[in-house]
A and B are shown apart, each in its own frame.
Chain A
Amino acid sequence: MNLTYFLFFICIIVCTLIITYWAAKRSKTTNRFYTAAGSLTGFQNGMAIAGDFISAASFLGIVGTIAINGYDGFLYSIGFLVSYLIVLFLIAEPVHRLGTYSLGDVICSRFPGDNMRWLMAIGAFTISILYMIPQLVASGFLLRLLLDIDYSISVVIIGGLMTIYVVFGGMVATSWVQIVKTVVLMSGTFMLSLIVFSNFNWNTADLIERVKEGTPLGGEFFLPGHLFENPVEFLSLQLALIFGTAGLPHILIRLFTVRNTLEVRRSLISSTWIIGLFYLMTLILGLGTVALLGYHTMIEADPTGNLAAPLLAKEVGGDFLLAFISAIAFTTIVAVVAGLVISATTAFSHDIYHHIIKKGKSTEKEQLRAARWTALGIGLISTLFALRLETINVTFLVSMTFIVAAASNFPVLLLTIYWRRFNQIGAISGMASGLAASLILVVLGPHIMNPDGGWIAREAVISLHNPGIIAIPIGFLGAYLGTVFSPKQSQTEAEFRRFFKKSQTGIESRGDSA
C-alpha cells in the first residue's frame, strides 16, 4: 500500500472517529442513542438517508452494470429512485407520527401485544443482518482488490469501525458518518463526471461515438434488452425495488431523527434530489468507462464490472484519483453498515429487550446499556460471519433483502395505516407469509438450486432469480386472508378511529411539532 492510499484512509478513519467521539458525549439518553433526539434538520437527514441508501453495490455495481449492459443498467437504477415516491406519499408521515424508535412501535401503536412486536423485531433484525453480511463480504473483496490488503484484515477493519460508531455514538454518530459519506461521494462522482466530459471537450456526441466503438454491443448499447433474457424476471426485480424501500427498517427509522412532519418531507425531497443526481452521474461514469477504457480492459480486470469506477479514475487521474475513489468506496461501505447495525440494534434492544422482556419497564440507564451491548454483539457476530463467508457467493442476499422487505414489512405497514378492517391476526399472518414466501422462493430459486455451483446442485424449482412478483402478492394475500378469516374483530371501531386520526393528523402527538 503506497503513501497516498494510506493517507486517504487514515484521513477518513480519523474524521469519522472524531465525529464518534463528539457524538458519544451527546448520546447519554435513549432518545439520543436511537434517534439523535430528532435533532437533525430535514436537509441533514436527507443527506443521511442518501448515505444510508446508496451502498457500495450502487456506486460500484451500477457503474459496472451500465458499462456492460448499457441502457438496461441505467433502467435498473431508476427503480431505486422511484421507490422514494412511495415512501413520501404513502408511508413517511404516518410512520413518523406513530413510532418512537422502531417499526415495531409503529405497528404496535395499532396492534399492541408481544406477538406482534416479536414478529416486527424479527423482521427488522433479519432484513438488517441479511443486508449487512453481503456488504461486509463485498467490502473485504473490494479493499483487497484496491489496496492489496488481506480479506480478513479488511473485514475486521470495517466491522470494527461500524461497531465503534454505533456503540459509542449511536444514531448521532451514524447520521454524521452518513452525511460525510454523502458529501464525499457526491463531490467525488461529480468531479469524476466532469473529468470524463472534459476528455471529450464537453461534446456529448463524441462521447456517444466513442462508447459505440468501446463496447461489443455497438449501437445496440443504447437500446434496451441486454440485462435480462426474461422480461418477467426484470419486472419482478422492479417490483421488489419499488416496494422494498418502503419496507426497509434502516431507512424508515431515519424518519424518527427529525422534529416534525415538515422536516420529514424536507428529508425525503432532499434525498430524492441527491439520489437522482447520483444515478445520473453513475450513467456518465458508466459511459465514460466504456469510452475511455473499452469493454475488454474492464472485463479483464474484473468480470463482474465492479471495478469500472476505480479503473476509470485511474485512467483519467492516475494513482491519486484512484486512491480518492477507493476512499470514497470505503466511506460508502462503513456508512451503510453502520446504519444497518443501528437498525438491528433497535429491533433487539428496544423491541425485544425493553418492550417484551422487561415489559416496557426498564430504566433509561438499563436501556442504554442494553443498546450498547447489543450493538457490540451484533457488530462482532456479523464480522465473524463475514470472515467465514469469504469463499461463498452471498451477493444474492442484497436483492433478497428488498424482496423480504417488499413482501413482509411493506404490506403490513400499508394496510395498518390505511385499511379499516385490518386486524392483528391479519398483520401477523401477512408478516409471516411474506417473510416465509420470500425465503422459500429464494431457496427454491436458481441462487441456491443450481446444477453448476449452487448450494443444492439440482435444477431450480422456480426459475426466477428475483421472485418478488410471487412473494409480494403472497404477503398481501396473507394479510388479507388472515383478516377476513379471523374469528372476531379483535379491535373496536373506536380504537381504529383513534389510531387513524393520529396517523393522519398527528393529533395527540403534536407536542413535538411546534
Chain B
Amino acid sequence: MNGEHERIEEHREDEIDFVEVEKSSQFKSFMEGKRKFIIPMSIFFLVFYFLLPLFTSYTTFLNTPVFGDITWVWVFAFAQFVMVWVLSTIYVKRAASFDDEADQIIEDQIKQGGNS
C-alpha cells in the first residue's frame, strides 16, 4: 500500500508547477491568513506564560489576595491552564478551515496542471 502511495505522489509532483502555486493569489492569501493567526497567537502565549515566572521571581505584587485566602499568583497559575485549553481549541477550529483552503489549492492546481 505504501508503494502505491509513493507512486501517486510522484505522479502528482510532475503535474504541479510549484512556482505557479506560489505566485497564485490563492496561495498567497492562504499563507497570509495562516501567518496572521499563528504569529500573534504564539507571541501571546509565550508572553503570557513567561510573565508568571518573571513576576513571581522579581516582584511580589501578585502575592496580594484576590478574595479570601486566594492570591493573584494562584489565579495567574490557573489561568495558564485555561489559556492552554482555550488556545488549543481555537487552533483546532481555525486549522480545519486552513485544511479546506489547502485542499482547494491542491485541487485547483492539479486541474490547471492538467490543462496546460
Which residues of A are in contact with B by a Cβ distance under 8 Å?
29, 31, 71-72, 74-75, 78-79, 81-82, 84-86, 88-90, 93, 205, 208, 222-225, 231, 234-235, 238, 242, 261-262, 265-266, 268-269, 272-273, 276, 279-280, 494, 497-498, 501, 504-512
Shortest CB–CB separation between residue B92 and chain A, in angstroms? 5
Q: Which of B82-111 contact A (CB under 8 A)?
A: 83-85, 87-89, 91-92, 95-96, 99, 102-103, 105-106, 109
Does B25 lie at the interface of the complex (its beta carbon under 8 Å from any beta carbon of A)? no
Cα–Cα, bound, A71→B31 (Å): 42
The CB with the most chain A CB atoms within 10 A, among B18, B69, B81, is that of: B18
**Residues A262 and B96 in contact, CB atoms below 8 Å apart:** yes
Shortest CB–CB separation between residue A390 and chain B, in angstroms? 35
Shortest CB–CB separation between residue A283 and chain B, in angstroms? 9
Which residues of B are in contact with A by a Cβ distance under 8 Å?
2, 5, 8-9, 12-13, 16, 18-19, 21-22, 27, 30-31, 34, 38, 41-42, 45-46, 49-50, 52-54, 56-58, 62-63, 68-69, 71, 73-74, 77, 80-81, 83-85, 87-89, 91-92, 95-96, 99, 102-103, 105-106, 109
Cα–Cα, bound, A212→B102 (Å): 56
Residues of A within 8 A of B57 (CB): 224-225, 231, 234-235
**Residues A276 and B84 in contact, CB atoms below 8 Å apart:** yes
Given contacts A223-B73, A265-B95, A508-B16, 5 further A-B contacts (CB under 8 A): A71-B56, A205-B69, A224-B57, A497-B21, A501-B21
Partner of B41, one of A74, A89, A235, A262: A89
Shortest CB–CB separation between residue A98 and chain B, in angstroms? 13
Shortest CB–CB separation between residue A69 and chain B, in angstroms? 12
**Residues B91 and A242 in contact, CB atoms below 8 Å apart:** no
Cα–Cα, bound, A234→B52 (Å): 11
**Residues A266 and B56 in contact, CB atoms below 8 Å apart:** no
Q: Given that A82-B80, A508-B16 are known contacts, is A225 also in contact with B5, CB under 8 Å in the complex?
A: no
For A93, the closest partner residue in chain B by CB is B95
Residues of B within 8 A of A85 (CB): 42, 45, 84, 87-88
**Residues B84 and A509 in contact, CB atoms below 8 Å apart:** no
For B106, the closest partner residue in chain A by CB is A507
**Residues B9 and A261 in contact, CB atoms below 8 Å apart:** no
Residues of A within 8 A of B84 (CB): 81-82, 84-85, 272, 276
**Residues A238 and B99 in contact, CB atoms below 8 Å apart:** no
Cα–Cα, bound, A81→B77 (Å): 12
**Residues A497 and B92 in contact, CB atoms below 8 Å apart:** no
Residues of B within 8 A of A81 (CB): 80-81, 84
**Residues A272 and B88 in contact, CB atoms below 8 Å apart:** yes
**Residues B5 and A511 in contact, CB atoms below 8 Å apart:** yes
**Residues A504 and B31 in contact, CB atoms below 8 Å apart:** yes
Residues of A within 8 A of B102 (CB): 504-507
Chain B interface mostly: helix
Partner of B69, one of A74, A222, A512: A222
Cα–Cα, bound, A73→B42 (Å): 25
Cα–Cα, bound, A238→B16 (Å): 44
For A275, the closest partner residue in chain B by CB is B84
Closest 6 CB pairs between A and B? Answer: A231-B57, A224-B56, A505-B102, A497-B18, A511-B8, A265-B92
Residues of A within 8 A of B13 (CB): 508
For B8, the closest partner residue in chain A by CB is A511
Partner of A504, one of B34, B68, B77, B89: B34
Residues of B within 8 A of A505 (CB): 27, 30, 102, 105-106
Shortest CB–CB separation between residue A180 and chain B, in angstroms? 25
Shortest CB–CB separation between residue A203 and chain B, in angstroms? 13
For B62, the closest partner residue in chain A by CB is A224
Cα–Cα, bound, A82→B34 (Å): 21
Partner of B91, one of A72, A88, A509: A88
Shortest CB–CB separation between residue B80 and chain A, in angstroms? 5
Residues of A within 8 A of B41 (CB): 89
**Residues B31 and A88 in contact, CB atoms below 8 Å apart:** no
Residues of B within 8 A of A242 (CB): 46, 49
**Residues B2 and A31 in contact, CB atoms below 8 Å apart:** yes
Cα–Cα, bound, A279→B68 (Å): 24
Shortest CB–CB separation between residue B54 and chain A, in angstroms? 7
Residues of A within 8 A of B96 (CB): 262
Shortest CB–CB separation between residue A266 and chain B, in angstroms? 7
Complex A-B: 27 CB contacts under 8 Å: A74-B77, A75-B52, A78-B80, A78-B81, A81-B81, A82-B83, A84-B88, A90-B42, A205-B68, A222-B73, A224-B56, A224-B73, A225-B57, A238-B53, A242-B49, A261-B95, A265-B95, A269-B89, A272-B85, A280-B81, A494-B18, A497-B19, A498-B18, A501-B22, A505-B27, A508-B13, A511-B8
Shortest CB–CB separation between residue B87 and chain A, in angstroms? 6
For A261, the closest partner residue in chain B by CB is B99
**Residues B77 and A78 in contact, CB atoms below 8 Å apart:** yes
For A223, the closest partner residue in chain B by CB is B63
Q: Given that A81-B81, A504-B102, A512-B5 are known contacts, is A89 also in contact with B91, CB under 8 Å in the complex?
A: yes
Residues of B within 8 A of A506 (CB): 102, 106
Partner of B16, one of A78, A89, A234, A507: A507
Partner of B42, one of A84, A89, A93, A205: A89
**Residues B69 and A208 in contact, CB atoms below 8 Å apart:** yes
**Residues A269 and B71 in contact, CB atoms below 8 Å apart:** no
Shortest CB–CB separation between residue A293 and chain B, in angstroms? 22
**Residues A508 and B77 in contact, CB atoms below 8 Å apart:** no
Residues of B within 8 A of A86 (CB): 42
